[in-house]
């Protein structure tokens, strides 16, 4: 629909171009979305929402030099609802989590106070708060944000999927499966299916875990964009198709050299037993100072495999400090590895 609108009228049709950029991002077609953001910015460089969209695509494509300049110019616009979530993500990516939290809470409050926003959009701002809190192990705060989102837009599949992830972080496997089931009844989201597979496996139902994994693969294969990193990590964590994921991660990095691409390559190299190469990729994944438990855990386990005890201790401890519930299995493995290193 957006492409049709642009084909009919390419000039002065920013709404269709923004919609097209969003659709392309949802399909993980970030290079194409970046082209749309560049066009919007070139036409109206003074419009903060277009600048923020460009910054988001710069982050996604690994253009951190450009993103730093873009978001630096947006600091005075942090109260804008079109800027706040993207600026907060940049703050989080560069290790400024308290600033990200402050921006997102204010944005959610302002969105709730406005009477002209669709309720689905209001719920999305609460989702962003909950995502941040969940990534940082603040489970009660995440639950509160997700409940506020569902109050705004009941049965929102995105919020239900995140609540499934929250339940899994708490070890509540039946709740994770029930919430995830409500979410995937609407949309077969790969991330939610991964949570459900983990929850089924943890509760002893390996057949059901395999079924969710197969549905997840079908969902991922429907995407036409770049490698789905969540699927790649899902396979690596199970020791499946390691060489294939490593090849895909290398190819993906050539088009999209961001820190999470390097993290995926690092984990693939580790699973291949190539820990010297894995360490080089892990260092690239950590180069922005991002405080992400997954990045720290991967770096710590790779360092341990290289017998770099000091680095292994530092990164594994950091993973558990950021989020002691970052993964239903790997958080326990991080604690066990720390004990063995002592």
The answer to whether 286 and 259 have CB atoms below 8 angstroms apart is: yes
Cα–Cα distance between 153 and 129 in angstroms, integer? 15
CA distances 271 to 182, 233, 278, Å, are 34, 11, 9
pLDDT for the residue numbered 13: 67
Average pLDDT over residues 156-163: 98
CA distances 65 to 22, 38, 72, 113, 316, Å, are 23, 15, 11, 35, 29
Contacts with 3 (C-beta within 8 Å, 6 or more apart), sequence order: 20
* Residue 226 reports pLDDT greater than 90: no
pLDDT for the residue numbered 17: 85
Residue range 228-257, pLDDT digits in tens: 899 999 999 999 999 999 999 999 999 899
Q: How many residues does this entry show for the chain?
A: 342
pLDDT for the residue numbered 342: 83
pLDDT for the residue numbered 218: 93
- On average, the pLDDT of the chain sits at 94
Average pLDDT over residues 4-28: 75
Element (H, E) at 160: helix 157-169
Residue range 250-298, pLDDT digits in tens: 999 998 999 999 999 999 999 999 999 999 999 999 999 999 999 999 9
Please tell me what DSSP assigns to residue 274.
-
Both tokens of residue 324? 């002691």
- Distance from first CA to last CA of the chain, Å, rounded? 59
Percent of the chain, pLDDT > 90?
Answer: 86
pLDDT for the residue numbered 156: 97
* Residue 313 reports pLDDT greater than 70: yes
Cα–Cα distance between 21 and 31 in angstroms, integer? 10
* Residue 109 reports pLDDT greater than 60: yes
CA distances 100 to 30, 122, 224, 260, 285, Å, are 23, 18, 31, 19, 20
Both tokens of residue 342? 């002592």
Dihedral, CA atoms, 113, 119, 121, 122, nearest 10 degrees? Answer: 30
Cα–Cα distance between 149 and 107 in angstroms, integer? 13
* Residue 113 reports pLDDT greater than 80: yes
* Residue 21 reports pLDDT greater than 80: yes
When pLDDT is cut at 50, 70 and 90, the band that residue 1 belongs to is low
* Residue 4 reports pLDDT greater than 80: no
Residue range 127-141, pLDDT digits in tens: 999 999 999 999 999
Average pLDDT over residues 64-85: 96
When pLDDT is cut at 50, 70 and 90, the band that residue 199 belongs to is very high
When pLDDT is cut at 50, 70 and 90, the band that residue 225 belongs to is low
* Residue 7 reports pLDDT greater than 80: no
Cα–Cα distance between 176 and 116 in angstroms, integer? 33
Average pLDDT over residues 317-323: 98
> Shortest CA distance to 281 belongs to which of 209, 295, 199?
295
């Amino acid at each position: 629909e957006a492409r049709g609108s642009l084909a009919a009228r390419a000039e002065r049709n920013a709404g269709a171009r923004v919609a097209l950029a969003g659709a392309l991002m949802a399909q993980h077609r970030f290079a194409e979305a970046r082209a749309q953001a560049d066009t919007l910015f070139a036409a109206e460089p003074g419009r903060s929402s277009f600048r923020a969209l460009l910054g988001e695509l710069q982050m996604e494509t690994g253009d951190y030099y450009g993103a730093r300049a873009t978001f630096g110019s947006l600091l005075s616009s942090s109260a804008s609802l079109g800027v706040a979530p993207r600026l907060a993500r940049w703050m989080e990516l560069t290790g400024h989590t308290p600033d990200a939290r402050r921006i997102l809470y204010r944005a959610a409050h302002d969105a709730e106070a406005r009477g002209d926003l669709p309720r689905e959009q209001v719920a999305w701002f609460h989702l962003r708060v909950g995502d941040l809190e969940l990534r940082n192990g603040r489970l009660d705060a995440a639950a509160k944000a997700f409940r506020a989102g569902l109050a705004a837009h009941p049965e929102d599949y995105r919020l239900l999927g995140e609540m499934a992830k929250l339940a899994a972080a708490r070890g509540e496997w039946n709740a994770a499966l029930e919430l995830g089931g409500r979410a995937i009844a609407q949309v077969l989201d790969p991330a939610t299916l991964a949570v459900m597979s983990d929850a089924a496996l943890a509760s002893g139902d390996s057949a059901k875990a395999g079924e969710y994994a197969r549905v997840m693969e079908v969902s991922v294969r429907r995407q036409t964009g770049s490698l789905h990193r969540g699927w790649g990590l899902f396979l690596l964590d199970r020791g499946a198709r390691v060489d294939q994921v490593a090849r895909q991660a290398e190819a993906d990095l050539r088009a999209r050299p961001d820190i999470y691409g390097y993290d995926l390559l690092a984990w693939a190299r580790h699973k291949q037993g190539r820990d010297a190469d894995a360490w080089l990729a892990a260092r690239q994944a950590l180069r922005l100072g991002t405080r992400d438990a997954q990045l720290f855990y991967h770096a710590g386990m790779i360092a341990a495999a290289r017998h770099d005890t000091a680095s292994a201790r530092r990164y594994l401890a950091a993973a558990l400090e950021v989020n002691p519930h970052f993964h239903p299995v790997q958080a326990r493995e991080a604690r066990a590895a720390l004990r063995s290193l002592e």
